[in-house]
Structure 1
Amino acid sequence: MTDAESLVTRVRDGDLRLHELEEHADAETAATARRLYVEQEADVDLSVTGEYALDAEQASGSAIENMIGATQIPVGVAGPVEVAGGDADGEYLLPLATTEGALLASVNRGLSVIRSAGGASARVTKEGMTRAPVFRVDGVVEAAETVEWVRENVDALREAAESTTSHGELMDVTPYVVGDSVFLRFRYDTKDAMGMNMATIATEEAVGVVEAETPASLVALSGNMCTDKKPAAINAVEGRGRSVTADVEIPGEVVEERLHTTASAIAEANTRKNLVGSAKAGSLGFNAQAANVVAAAFLATGQDEAQVVEGANAITTVEERDGDLYASVSLASLEVGTVGGGTKLSTQSEALEVLGFAGGGDPPGSNARALAEVIAVGALAGELSLLAALASNHLASAHEDLGR
């Protein structure tokens, strides 16, 4: 009997629980045992799930619990494209992981057109990861007292929060009052980390100071004013993570030759679809398919995939300028990092190396900002390609031609 099989026997005998296996074997053996158990219980063959290049010890230590293997998602590459950004400056290949046929072809078409126009510009215009605890007070008088103290003592909160991290910096604290509830939205510069864990730990320390100095009592460390992994207008307005915009101006003849339509037709499609249609639908995202590129880039580079919810919070603008086409995409809350979390896994780290952004940047924060800028250009390419397909009535035929 192998070590993995003996672990399965102990689980069946009630001597061990599945989540305890790493305490009795190395991570690889624990994953194998857990996979054998699932195979027997579900009467399935998980041999392909058990074939992976990840370091099981690293994955189970930082990215997953109860590991049984890995799911493989095809990874393609889009580009290259010239990006003139605040931190990204040069030609880049963008790795994208997806199971949606035609996505890479669409993004590559858009990037090819952007390349023909001399590349795109991109800038991170605002950054800051947020955590917003909610407190209980007796009423509006205590709420006002708490808010006043917070506004006058941000330095004390900063000292407490920053005592938990050698990298994060508390940028500001914004109070909100709803009856006998007080929300404090802490915003941090997390450098090259996406920073959600950093912000949570730092805020917990600052909360102790608030409770000691005000009548407020903590109810929950997250009060949903952050807002994390949920559609929220506050992120669309105030931003979260990195707010980034990419734009390009494409000569009219390039639009006609490469996209088989006109600048005015694409502008009209964008206005009626992305702006008017989205407004009528009550959408928080005024774009064609930004989530497609954001999700694929997140999976490829080890970001928190649930934060695609905020990453798709984007507005696409298009206008005709004397026959030429101006297009931009502004992503209000793109939460990305190049250190920590899933970015440490081997394949995700390789994807970041393809971009040249693996690990911490010099200066700190520059790699994460550069990644945001390149993803924004990728999203812009996807917007251009889809809008052109719609404007020229080629969307269905493009999918049909690719056999999707």
Structure 2
Amino acid sequence: MTDPEDLVERVREGELRLHELEDHADHDTAAEARRLFLERETATELEAIGDYAFPAEAAEPNIENMIGAAQVPMGVVGPVPVDGGAATGDHYLPLATTEGALLASVNRGLGVIRSAGGADARVTKNGMTRAPVFRVAGVAEAAETVEWVNENTEALAEAAESTTSHGELIDVEPYVVGDSVYLRFAYDTKDAMGMNMATIATGEACEIVERETPADLVALSGNLCSDKKPAAINAVEGRGRSVTADAVIPGELVEDRLHTTPEAIAEANTRKNLTGSAKAGSLGFNAHAANVVAAAFLATGQDEAQVVEAANAITTMDAREREDGTTDLYASVSLASLEVGTVGGGTKLPTQSEALEVLGLRGGGDPPGSNADALAEIIAVGALAGELSLLGALSSRHLASAHEDLGR
């Protein structure tokens, strides 16, 4: 077995670089050597970072220059009562976060939803996108390129799908800006989040576009995708899964459990999430949907940077009068671009794999894509619970006292 001290010395002498250590030792020894080197270079103790529970080799596809692990507290909420297109019954949802009171709030919302008979959820659109940008001489060549693309979608699909046994090309949407042509490819990536799949497939299709049209590829991603950035196109067209969850909460439940009224929650939502967000120029018209999404992403191994797109959510709350004169609360949250998967990427890490196992969604579904659809639906119901609880706290003026009671 290689001595980590020997590796540290070879790095200090310039014989080895930090990223080369796995070529000379097993993954855990390499990580230990990096920690020792870093401790001495920065006069820092890395005992907690080095105390991780999985073999470092398991993380090889997910990290470079590994020194250990960042440990985020993980809790669970639920059961989440879901009547979905892919998810049915009760599910416990693991959430990883450092924000105190978040899980308590989500659990409160779920308790109300459960008492009301549960929530409905549906994935309404599915498509992971990649949008390369091409250079042309001018608008005439741009039009020629667009015409060829529109007439040859099948050829592009054949090329793109030759790179994957799972992905399917759904659509190619052209956009022209002066002498730039953008082609927004959309794929059904089944149970994978699919960003890598879409990138590789699109690269293959771009070769045909260059060969058959005047267009020259400038960049495989032209930011019209749009990945990991706030973008109106994702709020409108969607990216990954577009999913909506809703529930009807009887007025007496709102009063007994949230200590407010349907009318008060509806007004708070309109003035805060709709009017306030519009005045701010926000792309997200919700209270804190990204809170639940981020915690679910960390727990289940999703790409945490894509929380920015998941914040493209609209929350609606309406007071509905019944025939007997009483009022119920209709509550919904619609996430336009929730990018999730149950295979590939961080989902294979041991901790995250266990969290998906808790949900009963680890690995590929039958039929393909059903597990990722179910995960999207469950996360949407969790986000709905968080919206309901926070708006209830705001409209009852209990938000500050709730944080005080929980010692936050």
TM-score range normalised by the length of the shorter chain: over 0.9
Where do 1:2-401 residues align within 5 Å? 3-60=3-60, 62-322=61-321, 323-401=327-405
Secondary structure of residue in 2 paired with 1:106 = helix
Letter paired with 2:366: D
Cα shift at 1:24: 1.1
In structure 2, how many angstroms separate the alpha carbons of the residues matched to 1:252 and 1:47? Answer: 52
Cα shift at 1:54: 2.2
Query: 5+ residue gaps in structure 2?
Result: 322-326
TM-score (norm 2): 0.98
Query: 5+ residue gaps in structure 1?
Result: none
Contact 1:290/1:383, CA 8 A, preserved across alignment: yes
Cα shift at 1:81: 2.3
Secondary structure of residue in 1 paired with 2:228 = coil
Contact 1:55/1:345, CA 8 A, preserved across alignment: no
Cα shift at 1:3: 1.4
Secondary structure of residue in 2 paired with 1:167 = coil
Contact 1:320/1:326, CA 8 A, preserved across alignment: yes
Letter paired with 2:100: G
In structure 2, how many angstroms separate the alpha carbons of the residues matched to 1:126 and 1:154? Answer: 20
Cα shift at 1:2: 5.9
Letter paired with 2:330: Y
In structure 1, how many angstroms separate the alpha carbons of the residues matched to 2:2 and 2:238? Answer: 52
Deviations, residues 146-165 of structure 1 (Å, cap 9, x unaligned): 00000000011001000000
Cα shift at 1:55: 2.4
Letter paired with 1:149: W
Provide the residue aligned with 2:324 in structure 1. Answer: none
Contact 1:55/1:346, CA 8 A, preserved across alignment: no
| % same residue | 80
Count of equivalent residues: 403
In structure 1, how many angstroms separate the alpha carbons of the residues matched to 2:54 and 2:95? Answer: 18
Letter paired with 2:224: M
Deviations, residues 225-264 of structure 1 (Å, cap 9, x unaligned): 0000000000000000000000000100000000000000
Contact 2:2/2:25, CA 8 A, preserved across alignment: no
RMSD between superposed Cα atoms in Å = 0.8
In structure 2, how many angstroms separate the alpha carbons of the residues matched to 1:201 and 1:53? Answer: 33
Secondary structure of residue in 1 paired with 2:173 = strand
TM-score (norm 1): 0.99
Secondary structure of residue in 1 paired with 2:244 = strand
In structure 2, how many angstroms separate the alpha carbons of the residues matched to 1:348 and 1:200? Answer: 24
In structure 2, how many angstroms separate the alpha carbons of the residues matched to 1:36 and 1:171? Answer: 50
Deviations, residues 113-140 of structure 1 (Å, cap 9, x unaligned): 0000010000000001000000000000
Contact 2:18/2:65, CA 8 A, preserved across alignment: yes
Cα shift at 1:53: 1.1
